[in-house]
Structure 1
Amino acid sequence: MTELSLAILPETPKDAQAIERLHERTFGPGRFVLSAYRLREHVDHLLDVSFTARIGTLLVGSVRQLPILIGETPALMLGPLTVEPPFRSRGVGRALLERAIAGARAKGHRLIVLVGDEPYYSRVGFKLIPKGQVTMPGPVDPSRLLVMELADGAFEGVSGPIQPDWSKAI
């Protein structure tokens, strides 16, 4: 796969079914019990900061971002980030991640949080949230709760429960 053959495009409503099938294949039915999915039950992701990866017309990856509040502070929750297994370890996930971060920054968002592997996400600037500073609904391994500041100092003094941003509910 050459770099030129990969297109990172904004997600559109027409992508929903293909992305759901991708999530079924990569995460299976167990995805619905995860804490992050509990948040997604209430507020939909934002299309203007969610992206797809395509090679030609083939959807090979997706990243979504959901509007949340940490206490009273608006933020985005990144995820799921998923790539078709044959296309993993080829830079697709990284390209999606970088585009999602750039898109969020361009739209004026100040914070992104996610539940994921620190060694993978720290490569683009995510940092571990100190244990107890932020809580998620349901059980979450605190060593997997990460944050990225899109504006200097945006995470200073931020704490509390993560909840859907009801002002963005559709």
Structure 2
Amino acid sequence: MEIKLRQENENDYKSVFQLIEKAFENEEYSDHKEQFLVERLRKSDTFIPELSIVAEVNNQIVGHILLSKLEIENDINTIESLALAPVSVLPEFQGKGVGSKLILHSHEVAKELGYKSIVLLGHEDYYPRFGYELTSKYGIEMPFDVPAENCMVVILAENGLLGVRGKVIYPSAFFE
């Protein structure tokens, strides 16, 4: 199975909306509104078109990932980082490497764009294989009450989190 990755474009929006809806349909830890989050993020100033990526198999969009800007703030300064939310794969393509390819490719694009880290809230058994570690290891806190084992960060550049501590500030699009 050949998986082609490319930047999402406006013509993909309807397909991606439906894909995200199907991908999270049976997810236990979901509000089943991830597709609306993606729509809001696309319209926000935190949207980075190069970091909205689709996966295609036989010209069908089967996966999508979105990285958008967020900040890590403390008393001294504010550091720009990225949020991985969400990564979506059609149920019939899950477990076939689509999500892995999307995650790894998004890391490469983010590095090329100069970003140093990515924060996420996700499955504690899935993301560590991509280098994600607990945010608590770096003194990074989430702005809401969630299990610590689900709060993770990956460093994209050498010393990418050196001296970074503080609270994650998600864009308002996450809460609308």
Which of 79, 83, 86 pairs up with 1:80?
A: 86
Matching residue of 1:140: 146
Q: Could you say what secondary structure the match of 2:136 adopts?
A: coil
Amino acid at match of 1:45: F
Q: Percent of pairs identical after alignment? A: 26
Stretches (4+) displaced over 6 A: none
Matching residue of 1:94: 100
Distance 1:31 1:81, change over 3 A: same
Higher RCO (CA-CA < 8 Å; seq separation 6+): 1
Larger fraction in helix:
1
Which of 110, 131, 134 pairs up with 1:104?
A: 110
For 1:135 and 1:43, the matched residues in 2 are separated by: 23
> For residues 1-170 of structure 1, what are the structure 2 equivalents within 5 Å?
2=1, 5-28=2-25, 30-32=31-33, 40=41, 43-71=45-73, 72-130=78-136, 133-164=139-170
For 1:42 and 1:27, the matched residues in 2 are separated by: 23
Q: TM-score, normalised by structure 2?
A: 0.79
Q: TM-score, normalised by structure 1?
A: 0.82
For 1:58 and 1:95, the matched residues in 2 are separated by: 16
Distance 1:109 1:13, change over 3 A: same
Q: Could you say what secondary structure the match of 1:117 adopts?
A: coil
- Residue pair 2:138, 2:161 contacting (<8 A) in 1 also: no
- Residue pair 1:42, 1:164 contacting (<8 A) in 2 also: no
Amino acid at match of 1:57: N
Q: Which moved more, 1:75-84 or 1:129-138?
A: 129-138
Cα deviation, residue 49, structure 1: 1.6
Cα deviation, residue 161, structure 1: 2.3
Deviations 1:62-105 (CA, angstroms, capped at 9, x unpaired): 00001000111100101200100100111101011111000001
Where structure 2 has 5 or more consecutive residues not aligned to the other structure, the ranges are none
